[in-house]
Amino acid sequence: MFDQQTIEMLLVGVWDTLYMTVAATFFSYVFGMVMGVTLVVCRKDGIRPNAFVYSVLDVVVNLTRSFPFLILMIAVIPFTRFLVGTTIGNNATVVPLVLAAAPFVARLVESSLLEVDNGVVEAAQSMGGSIWQIIVKVLLPEARPSLINGSAVSAITILGYSAMSGAVGGGGLGKLAIMYGYNRYQTDIMIITVVLLIIIVQAFQSFGNWATRRSDKRGS
C-alpha cells in the first residue's frame, strides 16, 4: 500500500512522537510533582500552611494553564533557543511541552494528594512524622494509584500538544498529518497518522488503567 520510504517516514514519526511525549511527561512530572506537593502542603489546611507560597504558586499555575499551547510555544522561542540551541526538532519541542504541561501536572498531583484521607496524615503526625516523612511515606504512596492514573492522562494530553506542535516546527506524527493531509491533500497518510495516534493514546490509557488497578490495595 505504501512504499518503503513512506513507511520509514511514518515509523520515524511514531518514534519522534513517543520520544517527545515520554521526555516531556518525565520533565513535567519533575516540576509538576514539586509544585503539586507544595500546593497541598502549603494550603490553608495543609501540614505546613503558607498563604504566600500557596497563592503565588496558585496564580502561576493558573496563568500558565490559561495560555493556548500554540501561543505559548511561539512565545517561549527565545527561551527554547537559549536552552537547547535550536527551535526545531524533538528536543526543542520538549521545552514548551514541559512549560505547558507542568502546571497541568501540578493540578493533577494536587487533586490526587487531596484524595488522601486527612485522618491518615494526622495519624502520621501523631506518631511524630516530619513534613518530609509525611510527604514521602504517606501522601505519595497513599495517592499512588491516583497518581499513576493521572500520569496516563498527562501523557495523553502531552501527546496531543506534541501533535499540535507539528504546526510550528515540531516533529512527529502531528507534523506528518499537517504536512501531508492539510498541505498536500494526501488524505491516506493523514488517516494513517491519525490512526497511529489513536493507537498510541489507547495504549497509554490501557497501560495506565492496568497499572492503576494493579497498584491499588483498597480492594474490589
Partner 1 sequence: MADGPIISIEGLEKRFSGKNSEVFALRGIDLAIGRGDIFGIIGKSGAGKSTLVRCINMLERPTGGSVFFEGRNLCRLPEAALREARRSMGMIFQQFNLLMQRTALQNVCFPLELTGAPKEESRKRAEELLEMVGLANRMDAYPSQLSGGQKQRVAIARALATRPRVLLCDEATSALDPATTDSILALIKDINAQLGITAVVITHEMSVIEKICSHVAIISKGVIVEQGLVEDVFFHPQTEAARRLVLPDALRKLPQAHLYRLIFNGRSSFEPVIANMVLECGCPVNIMYADTRDINGVAFGQMVLQLPEREESRARIMAYAKAHSIMLEEMKHV
Cβ distance to partner 1 smaller for residue 187 or 209 = 209
Shortest spacing between CB 188 and partner 1, in angstroms: 48
Q: Single out the segment in contact with partner 1 by CB under 8 A; choices: 2-10, 54-62, 121-129, 174-182.
A: 121-129
Q: Interface with partner 1 includes 137 (CB under 8 A)? A: yes
Least distance from C-beta 29 to partner 1, angstroms?
Answer: 19
Q: Which is nearer to partner 1, 68 or 119 (CB)?
A: 119
Number of neighbouring beta carbons within 10 Å of residue 35:
20
- Shortest distance, position 45 Cβ to partner 1, whole Å: 12
The residue (of 135 and 196) whose beta carbon lies closer to partner 1 is 135
Q: How many contiguous H segments (helices) and E segments (strands) does the chain have?
A: 11, 0
Binding mask 179-218 for partner 1 (x = CB under 8 A): ------------------------------------xxxx
- Asked if 122 touches partner 1 (CB under 8 A), the answer is yes
Nearest distance from residue 121's CB to partner 1, in Å? 9
CA distance 126 to 18: 45
Q: Which of 26, 209, 42, 202 is nearest to 105 (CA)?
A: 26
Quick one: which of 169, 172, 159, 162 has its CA closest to 16?
172
Residues 6 or more apart whose Cβ sits within 8 Å of residue 94 = 20, 23, 24, 27
User: Binding to partner 1 by residue 144, rule CB under 8 A?
Assistant: yes
CA distance to 77, 127, 142, 149, 184, per residue, from 120 (Å): 45, 11, 9, 21, 59
**117 binding partner 1? (CB under 8 A):** yes
Q: Is 6 exposed, middle or buried (0-12, 13-18, 19+ CB in 10 A)?
A: middle
Asked if 138 touches partner 1 (CB under 8 A), the answer is yes
Task: Give contact residues for partner 1 (rule: CB under 8 A).
Answer: 117, 119-120, 122-130, 133, 137-138, 141-142, 144-145, 215-220
